[in-house]
Structure 1
Amino acid sequence: MPGMRVVRWAAALPMAVLALATVYPLLFTANVAMKTRRDYVLDRFSVADSLRFDNIGGAWAGAGMARYFLNSFVVVACAVALLLLLGSMAGFALSRLRFRGSTLIFLGVLAGLFIPFQVIMVPLTVVMADSGLVDTYPGLILAYVAQFLPFTVFLMTSHYRTIPAEIVDAARIDGNTVYGVYRRIMLPLGVPALLSVGILNTLFCWNDVLISLLMMPSPEHRTLMVGVNSLRGQYSDDIPTFASGVLIAAVPVLMIYLFLQRRIADGVTAGSTKG
């Protein structure tokens, strides 16, 4: 019994240190955002004596964070919706429909998972510029879809393969077309995987800086993360305002992690077991 307690403490202490190291930057940022510029200059590590939301309001309105937030919301919502639609349809086709080249296509999807964006960003930017899609919302949405679609297709294919083939065969015997099987059978059964993949894609797109920086050069079209990075130079002498911008960008992601952590874990492990 004492030995088990030692083992538990030995496992709990590193996890507690890791949790503290993860939470401390957020707490420090929130504390700085509540200070005035004078208080921060005098003692940056002291605890704020009161809750001041002036800096957050200034970053939201004066620094343009409201516009950046709206840009991110529109782009991420459209990109994730398109990813789920295309990913679920492709996953159904690759897992349940037998056609020539399906295995080769799936291997191509797997290969797409191992290509870093830095390898394709120059040709992608050239293609987008030639198509007139640079500095447009559709251009950024298509760039996100192209980048994260292999991941979505892979997870949805893995999930659909765990569904018994007899269900699909029974639906076809009942007179359903391929589209009917997808809409009435596979799509409802794929809702858990769609939720998990949707959450992960939302986090990927929301936290992105590089793709958005390339596709949206205009200040009025910036997404939230790019806007936060721009505050670093614009408010280099006003750290509380910059910290407020960081806090605005971090809160949505933090809420997703707090309330949907089980779905995130399910999405990470999706397809890891053989059906």
Structure 2
Amino acid sequence: MANRHLNRLASWLAGAAVVFACNGIASAADCLRQNALGTSRVLAVDPKAYPRVGSNEFPKTLPLADHEVVLTFDDGPRPPNTQKVLEALAQECVRATFFLVGRSSAEFPELVRRIASQGHSIAHHSWSHQMMSKMPFEQAMDDIHRGIAADELALEGVSTNVPSTPFFRFPHFDSSPAMLDALQSRGIVVFGTDLWASDWEDISPDQELMNVIAQLESTRKGIILLHDAQARTAAMMPALLRYLHKNGYRVVHLVSAAQAEKKAETRH
């Protein structure tokens, strides 16, 4: 099985509830570069219907069609790797969701604004990236709120623990029922994942790509977890995007239902 994937990869590299969905910005047709992958559509996520998503961690995930994927990135912003990831996404006119660590947002606020200015969604990944279940409940929630406040300060210039995009992913997927309930009560969607690149391991960019390809051959869709802080992921991204394009995958961009409704109101 591994040899089959390696041979296929080598051959290929040589050749190269939801409220509603609306037409995506940065679609392939709108992209300035011809034959780009593009973003196929925008999916507005209602936290009341989908409070927790990701089949590896929760019973429910996003209702994606066959060959639809959502690109998500954790642990940034972290130069220079985040910039390299952004360049790869921009080259293909693809929109993603970035789950930021608050202390990194405080250190690199200009990079947070750059992520947002390129049309990506800013989501949250705590302040300190520690194991939340090892903390007392109040300390863990304070860490979550502090991370949100740092992300929002970098993004909007205002420190608030009310996220403009109410998406959160626990570091290491480590939570507790009480924490999950607390975030659900605040209307914050907790993200797990459907597949991952294992890019936290000591592997090459080619091995990372093979990890994703092998899982996609099984799932054929899903939320993909990547880490923009990792140099191997930054190096792998152009090849992953080419693979998605060549094999008929469509990238879905996530926004919150409230953001989508507000945008719809401004158009009328």
Please give the TM-score of this superposition, normalised by the length of structure 1.
0.22
* Larger Rg over CA atoms: 1
Please give the TM-score of this superposition, normalised by the length of structure 2.
0.23
